[in-house]
């Protein structure tokens, strides 16, 4: 029989931890409220604490690629970080970027109805972002606004927005060449496949 035993306790700053993630540099990221605490897994030491903006709200998810860290927040934004010297993290930009937001806002066709008498750009989430996953050069974000979005990481732009569920989404994962699995408060898990001709994701299973 396999049994686990506690080795140590890694203490955070707040009373709850909302998500954990480990990257390829042997670092553990623990989100406690709006703050991320970073530990070195080889010796369990605390090496950094970042995000000093309480207005970002509670952090829901953390994802990585080779050079960046992505964090999902209650304020419906994705923050992008880099590791600088001495493993200190600094904010690079948020998604959607100001440049893309400004460009999209010039055309009325880029606005969608999100609530009665309220419009937002389709590249924006309008509620808390609950999940992030990176698959090669694409990132997928799930939100309580019932949608998931696909982002091109190298170009810092949103490629697609999919109205996926009838209630808040809590998780998203991606498998293989881009099959997307989504989970929601509506009690459904859905599977999405990309139509390369239409350049968008379809729900082909009913």
Exposure of 67 in the CB half-sphere (CA atoms within 13 A): 4
- Helix (H) / strand (E) element for 96: namely none
DSSP designation for 102: H
According to the model, what pLDDT value does residue 196 have? 65
SS3 128: coil
CB 167 within 8 A of CB 185: yes
According to the model, what pLDDT value does residue 86 have? 77
Mean pLDDT, 10 residues at a time, the chain of 206 residues: 86 81 92 92 92 92 94 96 88 96 93 84 96 95 96 94 94 90 95 72 60
Tokens linked to 181: 């699995």
According to the model, what pLDDT value does residue 52 have? 87
The distance in angstroms from the start CA to the end CA of the chain is 42
According to the model, what pLDDT value does residue 58 have? 92
Q: CA 194, CA 189: separation in Å to the nearest integer?
A: 17
Q: Give the count of beta carbons closer than 10 Å to the beta carbon of residue 96.
A: 23
> Do 87 and 101 share a structural domain?
no
> Do 150 and 68 share a structural domain?
no
SS3 25: coil
According to the model, what pLDDT value does residue 59 have? 93
> Do 107 and 83 share a structural domain?
no
According to the model, what pLDDT value does residue 202 have? 67
> Do 200 and 150 share a structural domain?
yes
According to the model, what pLDDT value does residue 204 have? 56
Q: Which of 93, 119, 140 is the last residue of a domain?
A: 93
Q: What is the domain range of residue 148?
A: 96-206
Q: How are beta strands 69-73 and 59-64 bridged, if at all?
A: antiparallel
Q: Which of 38, 72, 93 is the last residue of a domain?
A: 93
Tokens linked to 70: 């992505």
> Do 68 and 169 share a structural domain?
no
Exposure of 44 in the CB half-sphere (CA atoms within 13 A): 7
DSSP designation for 105: H
Which of 125, 129, 80, 117 lies closest to 101 in space, CA to CA? 125
């Amino acid at each position: 029989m396999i049994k686990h035993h506690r080795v140590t306790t890694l203490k955070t700053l707040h009373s709850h931890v909302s998500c954990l993630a480990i990257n390829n540099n042997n670092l553990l990221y623990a989100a406690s409220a709006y703050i991320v605490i970073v530990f070195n897994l080889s010796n369990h030491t605390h090496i950094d604490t970042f995000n000093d903006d309480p207005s970002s709200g509670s952090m829901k998810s953390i994802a990585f690629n080779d050079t960046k860290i992505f964090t999902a927040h209650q304020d419906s934004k994705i923050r992008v970080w880099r590791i600088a010297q001495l493993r200190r993290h600094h904010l690079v930009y948020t998604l959607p970027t100001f440049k893309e937001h400004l460009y999209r806002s010039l055309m009325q066709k880029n606005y969608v109805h999100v609530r009665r008498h309220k419009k937002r750009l389709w590249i924006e989430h309008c509620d808390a972002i609950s999940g992030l996953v990176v698959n090669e050069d694409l990132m997928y974000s799930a939100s309580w606004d019932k949608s998931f979005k696909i982002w091109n990481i190298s170009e810092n732009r949103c490629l697609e927005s999919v109205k996926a569920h009838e209630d808040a989404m809590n998780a998203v994962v991606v498998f293989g060449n881009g099959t997307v699995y989504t989970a929601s408060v509506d009690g459904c898990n859905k599977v999405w496949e990309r139509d390369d001709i239409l350049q968008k994701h379809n729900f082909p299973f009913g």
